Amino acid sequence: MTADSATDPKVAEVLLPLALEGAYSYGIPDGMTLRPGDFVAVPLGPRQTIGVVWALKAEAGTDKKLRDVIGWFDMPALSETHRKFIDWLSAYYLEPAGNVLRMVLRAPGAFEPPREQIAYRATESVPKRMTPQRARVLEIAREGFAMRAAELAEAAGVGTSVVKALAKDGALEAVALPALRAFTEPDLNAGGFTLSKDQAQAAQALRAVVAQRQHKVMLLDGVTGSGKTEVYFEAMAAALAAGVQVLLLLPEIALTGPFLERVEKRFGCEPAQWHSDVRPRERERVWRGVADGTARIVVGARSALFLPWKKLGLIVVDEEHESAYKQDEGVPYHARDMAVLYGALAKFPVVLSSATPSLETLVNVDRGRYGVVKLKDRHGRPELPEIGLIDMKSVALEPGAWISQPLFEQVEATLASGDQALLFLNRRGYAPLTLCRACGHRLECPNCAASLVEHRFRRQLMCHHCGHLEPMPQACPHCGVHGKMVPVGPGVERLAEEAALRFPEARITILSSDLSRGTLLRDGLRDVAEGHYNLVIGTQLVAKGHHFPHLTLVGVVDADLALESSDPRGGERTWALMAQVAGRAGRGAKPGAALVQTYLPEHPLMKALRKGDRDSYLDQEKIIRETAGLPPYGRLAAIIISGTDAHETERFARNIGMIAPLAEGVTVLGPAQAPISIVRGRHRIRFLVKATREVNIQGFLRLWLKDVKPKGSLALQVDVDPYNFL
Ligand code: ADP
Ligand code: ZN
Domain shared by 74 and 126, yes or no: no
Within a domain: residue 69? yes
Of 565, 587, 622, the domain-final residue = 622
Q: Would you say the CB of residue 224 lies under 6 angstroms from ligand 1?
A: yes
Q: What pLDDT is stored for residue 63 in this prediction?
A: 67
Atom of ligand 1 nearest to the CA of 222: 3
Read off the pLDDT of each residue in 77-101 and give the average, rounded to a whole number.
96
E strands present in 21-168: 24-27, 39-44, 47-57, 71-72, 117-122
For residue 125, pLDDT over 90 is answered with no
Q: For a pocket test of ligand 1, which of 229, 260, 377 has the largest count of ligand atoms closer than 8 A to its C-beta?
A: 229
Percent of the chain having pLDDT more than 90?
70
Does pLDDT of 24 surpass 90? yes
Distance 307 CA to ligand 1 centre (A): 30
Q: Are both 364 and 244 inside the same structural domain?
A: yes
Question: Residue 456 falls within a domain, yes or no?
Answer: no
Residue 340, classed as helix, strand or coil, is: helix
Q: CATH number, domain at 126?
A: 1.10.10.10
Q: Enter the pTM of the model.
A: 0.88
How many angstroms separate the Cα of 530 from the Cα of each of 227, 259, 392, 516?
22, 17, 33, 17
Give me the domain span that covers residue 225.
197-375
Residue 653: give its domain's CATH number: 3.30.70.600
> Before 632, cis peptide (omega within 30)?
yes
DSSP for 580-642, please give it: HHHTTTT-SSS--EEEEEES-TTSHHHHHHHHT-HHHHHHHHHHHHHHHT-TTSEEEEEEEEE
Please, which residues bridge with residue 246 across strands?
A: 297, 314
Q: How far apart are alpha carbons 466 and 299 in whole angstroms?
A: 30
Res. 588: pLDDT tops 60: yes
The preferred substitution site among 206, 223, 230 for testing ligand 1, maximizing ligand atoms within 8 Å of CB, is: 230
Q: Which of 105, 131, 157 is the last residue of a domain?
A: 105
Decide: 195 in ligand 1 pocket, CB within 6 A.
yes
Whether 568 shows a pLDDT value over 90: the answer reads no
Shared domain for 47 and 172, answered yes or no, is no
Please give the Cα distance from 278 to 295 (Å, whole number).
Answer: 15
For 657, residues 6+ apart whose C-beta sits below 8 A from its C-beta are: 668, 670, 671, 687
Specify if 467 maps to a domain: no
Which one, of 422, 376, 394, 456, lies nearest residue 198 by Cα?
Answer: 376
Q: Is residue 470 part of a domain?
A: no
pLDDT of residue 2: 42
- Quick: pLDDT tens for 337-351: 999 999 999 999 999
Contact between residue 17 and residue 34 where contact means Cβ atoms under 8 Å apart: no
Q: Give the residue, 143 or 43, on which the prediction is more confident.
A: 43
CATH number at residue 321: 3.40.50.300
CA distance 671 to 264: 51
- For residue 545, the one-letter residue type is G
Do residues 133 and 59 share a domain? no
The verdict on residue 597 lying in a domain is yes
Q: Does residue 520 register a pLDDT over 80? A: no
Atom of ligand 1 nearest to the CA of 196: 23
**DSSP for residue 152:** H
Same domain, 617 and 671: no
pLDDT tens for each residue of 394-447: 998 988 899 999 999 999 999 999 999 999 999 999 999 999 999 999 999 999
Q: Same domain, yes or no, for 220 and 345?
A: yes
Among 375, 394, 410, residue at a domain's last position: 375
Instruction: Give yes or no for a contact between 723 and 569, defined as CB atoms under 8 angstroms apart.
Output: yes
Query: Where is pLDDT greater, at 258 or 87?
Result: 87
* Least distant ligand from the CA of 254: 1
CA distance 448 to 683: 9
- Amino acid 516: pLDDT: 67
Same domain membership, residue 319 and residue 207: yes
Query: Is 531 inside a domain boundary?
Result: yes
In a domain, 437, yes or no: no
- CB atoms under 10 Å from CB of 698, counted, come to 16
Residues 367 and 400 both lie in one domain: no
pLDDT surpasses 80 at 379: no
* Length of the chain in terms of residues written: 726
What CATH number has the domain bearing residue 94?
Answer: 3.40.1440.60
In this structure, the answer to whether residues 172 and 222 fall within a common structural domain is: no
- Residues 24-31: what's their mean pLDDT? 94
534-556: pLDDT as tens digits? 999 999 888 776 778 899 999 99
**CA-CA distances (angstroms) from residue 56 to 13, 31, 353, 568?**
6, 15, 41, 46
Ligand nearest to the Cα of 470, by number: 2
Rounded to the nearest angstrom, the distance between the alpha carbon of 224 and the centre of ligand 1 is: 9
Separation CA 436–CA 194 (nearest Å): 62
Residue 143 lies in a domain: yes
Domain shared by 53 and 167, yes or no: no
What's the number of domains the chain is made of? 5
- In this structure, are residues 41 and 69 in contact, taking their beta carbons and an 8 Å threshold? yes
Please say if the pLDDT value at position 52 is more than 50: yes
Task: Give ion ligand 2 contacts, CB < 5 A.
Answer: 445, 447-448, 463, 465-466, 468
Same structural domain for residues 330 and 358? Answer: yes
Regarding whether 298 and 327 lie in a shared domain, the answer is yes
Q: What is the mean pLDDT of residues 574-588?
A: 86
